[in-house]
Copies of this chain bind each other. A is one copy, B any other.
Amino acid sequence: MNEGTQQAEPRRRGRRAGGEDTKAALLAAAREVFMQRGYEGATVRSIAARAGVDAAMVNHWFGGKEGLFAKAVLQLPVDPNTLVDHLLSGPREHIGERIVRTFLGVWDPIGGGQFAALMRSVTAHDQVADVLRDFFVGTLLKKVVAGIGTEDRPELRATLAASQIFGMGMVRYVVKFEPLASTDVETMVQAVAPNLQRYLTGDIG
């Protein structure tokens, strides 16, 4: 019903009138559909349809489904530098709390479905796990750890913290274990933040 009385012209062939960026439209559509359906579940046809474009454009612009996937997945929903700055602002003995609040603040509003979708892509395709690992370990965690300045095994601490964050997301958004999936942010902070804090600045043996 989204076209109303507009009779569906079969859309004329040939070059489009100026202004419309097919490549960008495909990338945006690809991000959505890949996230929702995973790599194999997303079809080139459905992505092209959402972009309002013919499926052949995927081959024309990205050399195929794989190429489109590679380009689309690399576009992350948050800016790493802003994120790191925000996490590192304030006293280091409250960084655990800030991480929990930031994480839930990002994903709770969008229903967590996006997080579930990201996990789906991560587990379904090794490429995505690689990209995510490079981003998380090579960029985000490295900077956070450097900012905190803990001397003892900083990389291990960072990945331990990551494990708690990933797990919180998995249980809250993907498998949805109750009551954790419905627990309010304050309670989550009180429960989880101290454990994160211990990983990052406490005694881990």
Contact = CB atoms under 8 A, between A and B. Distances in A.
Given A159-B177, A183-B156, A195-B198, A190 B168 contact: no
Given A120-B123, A164-B164, A180-B160, A191 B204 contact: yes
Q: How many copies does the complex hold?
A: 2
Contact of A172 (B163, B179, B204): B163
- Residue with the greatest number of chain B CB neighbours at <10 A, chosen from A122, A155, A195: A195
Contacts of A25: none
Contacts of A129: 174-176
A159 B180 CA distance: 6
Interface residues of A, number: 49
B195 A164 contact: yes
A183 B204 CA distance: 13
